[in-house]
Amino acid sequence: MGKYFFMKTVLQSISEGKFLRKTVAIALRTLAMVIAFASLVGWIVKWKVVFGLPVTGIIGGIIFQLLMIVAVYMVVHVMLIRSNNILLLPEAEYTVIPVVALCLKLIGEIYASFLAVTAVAGGLYIWLTGRNAGSDLLGAIARFVPVGGDLSFLGGVKFILTGATMAFVGLLLSYFLSEAIILMVDLAHSVRFGNKN
């Protein structure tokens, strides 16, 4: 009769760190592949916009498109590295917290790596085309980058500096949150251990 009641085994598997780590790692790898494929499709579609620009604009568009390959590569590679890091986490008293801490770092790393490259690409695009990369080539992603209305040389400089600053602050904030979670666990562990003594 016990073989028909499988939920105890399921719950035991879920509560083990190995199952959780493996599930999160597989989810991150799958998401990385989806991002790579969706980015490739979007990248191909955007060539129509690039070749609709004036000659100097086409050069700016080509540079932008090439830098987008670098940005997507960085995002996908970071996700694969962190999925491997999560998979290799050692067994510990707490199973979810180390995974969440690494995922918080990952969010900042994705944002920073993508935005740093996009800021440079967007600034160059402004200089070479006098147009805004957010409205021309970024589409829905534009809400995560510093889209400004100044299309002058200084506007390009501002775009690059603002993007680099946002990337750094995003990375710093994600690392801070990750370390704050680990610190809270360490404090809780110290208090509990101290109370036993």
CATH classification at residue 71: 1.20.120
Residue 122 lies in a domain: yes
CB 133 within 8 A of CB 121: yes
Closest CA relative to residue 64, chosen from 16, 120, 8: 120
Q: For residue range 74-102, list pLDDT tens digits in order.
A: 999 999 999 999 998 887 777 788 889 99
pTM: 0.81
Higher pLDDT, 15 or 39: 39
Residue with tokens 């801490």: 101
CB 163 within 8 A of CB 145: yes
Q: For residue range 161-193, list pLDDT tens digits in order.
A: 988 999 999 999 999 999 998 888 777 767 665
Residue 170 lies in a domain: yes
Residue 194 lies in a domain: no
Give the integer Cα–Cα distance in Å for 119 and 115. 6
Higher pLDDT, 128 or 40: 40
Residue 36 lies in a domain: yes
CB 109 within 8 A of CB 174: yes
**Domains contained in the chain, number:** 1
Domain residues for 181?
19-189
